[in-house]
Amino acid sequence: MAAGQEQEETGNQPTSDANGKQAVAVISPDKLEEEAAKNGEETEEERREKEIQKTYKVPLSRLMSFCRPEWCLIVPGLLAALASGSTFPLGGAFALVEGMVAFINPDKEVMKRETEKAAIWFTAMGLTRFFAVLTYYTCFGMIAEGMTKRCRQAMLETMCRQEIGFHDNPEHTPGRLSHLLQLCTYRVQTFVIAVGDSADGMCAVIVGVTLSFYYSWEMALTALGGMPLFAIADAIQTAVVLGTATKANKNAKLAQQVVSDAIGNVRTVQASNCEKDLLQLYSDILAPPPFRKQALAFLAGGFGFGLSQAATFWIISAEFWIMGIIIENGRGDFYNCQKAFVGTLWAAFGLSSALMMTRDMNKAKVAAHDMFQLLDRKSQIDGLEPTGVTPADPNMKLGHFEFTDVKFFYPFRPNVQVLKGVTFTVKEGQSVGVVGPSGGGKSTVMALIQRFYDPQSGQVFIGEGSGKVALDSLNIRWWRRQVGYVGQEPVLFNTTVLENVKYGLQDGEVSEKHLNDCKAMANLSFLDGEHGQGWETRVGPKGGRLSGGQKQRVAICRALARSPPVLLFDEATSALDSNSERKVQKAIEEACRGRTSFSIAHRLSTIQGCDVIIVVADGRIVEQGSHEELMSLDGVYRKLQAQSSSAKSASPLAPRSPATS
């Protein structure tokens, strides 16, 4: 891909320099968000989340489909939560009040008998609550785990389905996508578990208020009058928590991306002495907001939390005051008033517990919106869907390519036209060298052959004559198995060399003899050396236990193992020493016999023997032909050859003549 493809888009704003002339200041969206936050303004992310909380309706049936195997646990879990919620108001209204009344009974025998009965009731209520909480926590926990697992699987599958252009988006970096995968599912999981706690709390409210109305409707109305205080306090807490969480989550995404990039490129970080700069950047991203804003946020949160705590005592105060009036006027007795009081007390506690779900629900609503937005995104090139044409003709010339007036720009750089009407034909079995200045579009041609992207106009055809088909109509999963690729920077996984070579192949798809032949062609003799363990040699994270040349040869072996009709080499021998380069180049030439191959090279000596050399410059094919033909043109290719020879002779490692020694 062309350089700069991964850079974030920026907004340009005019400023004036010292001479009054207009200049352009480049300000990133993240910088604008930070400035807005510092000024106390609402950021775009905060506005987005508030809008989602107001207008978005979670498709519950679709969400519940992720826990279909656990549906049988919903009813037992809810019943257990209701049983758990009813224990406190029932136990308080009967066991507690009965025990309190028994203590003031002058008959010692009756008092002892009644208090023992109350103790038995409390023991039974404790056992009931124990088994009820155990049941509903287990049920909702298993529902949440099952849902989380399937949500993560669905999100990861959707990410893998997306075209490469989706992953080129700066908003979809690996760090941010992994954070989204973790955060969304965590919030949904937390919400599901909170459903059990809320059912527990709401049952306590219903049972407590019912008991209160039954024994004293006046005390029940007093308690209900104080309930809005809980709602107000919870609303304040919710606003504060969500506001700070939005900023924290955004910063967490950026911080995770910084960590992901730094750890993944730790050698570069240390070689550049950037450890302190990295720590400072990480610290700045996670820095708390300005003191004034932070203090106001904590004051508001403390006010809401304190109000919810104080409301309980104010309701108790009002209840005692009303209870005294009722007993004084003879409209009730201590026994019934106490039962009504205990009912309203536990109803207040239950309401406080139930309202806690509001915050989890708002967070889960945003998480569900983001999750379903990702799941509903239609990939422009679905690499997991085996749709399209799979040629039935075994004699179809899969190595015959036709590029017809292909124009292309990368999705997130639409103002930069990379290919500007590329047209060429490659016959089956030809070896093709692709050369040209950096940024001319060489790697883009290979990306289109692999169908990582589709051109905005023009067409790429496979096959010849009446049997040719458009590349975008082929079964993409089948087609990518027909193409072997060795990149400029080989990607190896933290496992054995054998597993890396067989990556993408089915068990038993290739024979041991074929693997050993590929091993010899790729010059993997180091596997059987003094410190090697043969195929079982482990490469380490990102191939870190191997040298650059060794990694490149393993990648070449992986491409050869697939025996594809088309081979793509993007500077495949660039990391090899001269001795290994000659051996591997010879092996590549042998492997390419009877196959169509494309080789990008800046070291032009490696492609001089190609059947066809295509010179790409500024998004166009400027020259095409054999090495001899292009040298005779005295054009771009000859200039590149002269530059390559000049650079080689000027290299400090180039051998000097005796005259200069």
Intrachain domains 45-216+343-379 and 401-645 with the same fold:
no
Among 272, 270, 618, smallest CA distance to 439 is for 618
Model confidence at 93, in pLDDT bands (50, 70, 90)? confident
Token code pair at residue 175: 């760090």
Q: Where is mean pLDDT largest: 37-46, 160-169, 525-534?
A: 160-169
Per-residue pLDDT, 659:
40
Cα torsion angle, 235, 236, 241, 244, sign:
positive
Model confidence at 505, in pLDDT bands (50, 70, 90)? confident
Per-residue pLDDT, 253:
66
**Range in 162-176, 341-355, 374-388, 562-576 the model is least confident about:** 341-355
Per-residue pLDDT, 648:
57
Residue 469: Cβ-neighbour burial (10 angstroms; 0-12, 13-18, 19+): middle
Per-residue pLDDT, 454:
93
Q: Is residue 616 predicted with pLDDT exceeding 90?
A: yes
Token code pair at residue 183: 């955060």
Distance from CA of residue 48 to its chain's centroid? 19
Q: Is residue 656 predicted with pLDDT exceeding 70?
A: no
Q: How far is CA 473 from CA 401, 454, 554, in A?
A: 14, 11, 32
Q: Is residue 29 predicted with pLDDT exceeding 80?
A: no
Among 598, 586, 589, 606, smallest CA distance to 648 is for 606
Domain at 401-645: CATH architecture: 3-Layer(aba) Sandwich (3.40)
3-state helix, strand, coil in the chain (%, to 5): 65, 10, 25
How many angstroms separate the CA atoms of 198 and 291, rounded?
A: 35
Fold of 45-216+343-379: ABC transporter transmembrane region fold (1.20.1560)
Per-residue pLDDT, 32:
41
Q: Is residue 580 predicted with pLDDT exceeding 70?
A: no
Per-residue pLDDT, 249:
59
How many angstroms separate the CA atoms of 381 and 473, rounded?
A: 11
Q: For residues 644, 649, 652 and 658, what is the CA-based torsion angle, rounded to 10 degrees?
A: 160
Among 480, 488, 419, 420, smallest CA distance to 452 is for 480
Q: What does the pLDDT average to over 296-323?
A: 76
Percent of the chain scoring above 90 in pLDDT:
22
Residue pair 626/611 in contact by the 8 Å Cβ criterion: yes
Q: What does the pLDDT average to over 281-297?
A: 71
Q: Is residue 12 predicted with pLDDT exceeding 50?
A: no
| Single-letter code of the amino acid located at 370 | D
Q: Which residue has the higher pLDDT, 299 or 371?
A: 371
What value does the mean pLDDT of the chain take? Answer: 80
Q: Is residue 19 predicted with pLDDT exceeding 60?
A: no
Q: Is residue 495 predicted with pLDDT exceeding 80?
A: yes
Distance from CA of residue 35 to its chain's centroid? 26
Tens of pLDDT, residue by residue over 551-576, are 888 888 888 888 889 999 888 776 66
H/E run at residue 485: strand 483-486
Q: Where is mean pLDDT largest: 3-17, 81-95, 425-439?
A: 425-439
| Single-letter code of the amino acid located at 408 | F
Answer left, alpha or beta for residue 112, where phi above 0 means left and psi between -120 and 50 means alpha: alpha
Q: Domain ranges in the chain?
A: 45-216+343-379, 401-645
Q: How far is CA 583 from CA 576, 577, 589, in A?
A: 10, 10, 10
